[in-house]
Amino acid sequence: MNLKKIHLLLLLLFTFILSSCGYHNPYVYSGPQRNIYISNWHNRTNELLLNAKIYQSLTSWFQKSGSIKVQKSKERAQLILAGEILSIQLPSLTFGTGNDATEVKIILHVRYILKDLESGKVLLEVAKERWTEEYKVGTYASENKDNEREALAIIIDDLSEKIYIKTLDRLAKENI
């Protein structure tokens, strides 16, 4: 038997094992098509456009699904995802010589809710969630701002991914 056939057989065996053990991809929703409206989150912080960045990230994640369509109007949606940015903090973590900060942690607190507009049922509600990401303090202010922006982008993407997966999981459970 040649090497290509062995690889093909192993791949088929691996696929069979995964499908028979109940494994499912958490990024895939295979239920009926649903329309979701993502509201503009209320921003209680002084971080300008933070709500817009979260909205863009959430929209990007939900556009990955073939069965969930993001709607621009609430009237065309069956689901609504709303949230609020409660606070953002930037405490220093470590200090170097001269008592200068060398590392900072962004702490972001949010809350959000996913609701079925047709039934009025709350599908997902998180009253307060904390997200953190550390970044190094550089020599120049522009470098620090870039590091902070990159750390905040990581938080936003991780938050959006988690909400997306939780939504898919909840919708899958609702359809069983």
Q: Could you tell me the CATH number of the domain that includes residue 67?
A: 3.30.160.150
The CA-atom distances, in angstroms, between 73 and each of 56, 57, 65 are: 16, 18, 19
Range of the domain at 63: 31-174
| pTM attached to this predicted model | 0.80
pLDDT of residue 32: 87
Residue 89 lies in a domain: yes
Q: What is the DSSP string of 66-104?
A: SSEEEESSGGG-SEEEEEEEEEEE--EEEE-GGG-EEEE
Report the domain count for the chain.
1
Residue 22 lies in a domain: no
Residue 10 lies in a domain: no
> Residues 94-132: pLDDT tens digits?
555 665 677 889 999 999 999 999 999 999 999 999 999
Residue 128 lies in a domain: yes
Residue 123 lies in a domain: yes
Whether 38 shows a pLDDT value over 90: the answer reads yes
Whether 49 shows a pLDDT value over 80: the answer reads yes
Whether 13 shows a pLDDT value over 80: the answer reads no
Query: Rounded CA gap, 66 and 89, in Å?
Result: 36
Residue 50 lies in a domain: yes
pLDDT of residue 90: 85
